[in-house]
Amino acid sequence: MTELKVEGSGGYIIADLTDEQTKKADLGVGKLFLAPIGKIETEKMSKHYCKSCETEFDNPPKIHLEENNNEEIADNLILVERGQYTCEKCSAVIGEYRVFKKNDESRDIGKANPSE
Strands 77-86, 93-101: pairing kind: antiparallel
Residue 100's DSSP bridge partners are 79
pLDDT at 16: 96
pLDDT of residue 2: 75
What does DSSP assign to residue 35? G
Please name which of 87, 79, 81 lies closest in space to residue 45, comparing C-alpha atoms: 87
What's the average model confidence in pLDDT over 76-89? 90
So what's the pLDDT on residue 1? 66
Looking at the predicted structure, is the pLDDT value of residue 109 above 50? no
C-alpha distances out from residue 94 to 88, 102, 111, Å: 10, 27, 47
From 4, 20, 13, 5, select the one nearest 97 (Cα to Cα).
13
**What average pLDDT does range 12-31 have in this prediction?**
94
Give the DSSP per-residue string, 1-25. Answer: -EEEEEEETTEEEEEEE-HHHHHHH
Query: What is the mean pLDDT of the segment spanning 74-100?
Result: 90
Kindly report, residue by residue over 30-47, the tens digit of the pLDDT: 999 999 998 999 999 999
Q: Is the confidence at residue 112, as pLDDT, over 60?
A: no
pTM score, whole prediction: 0.78
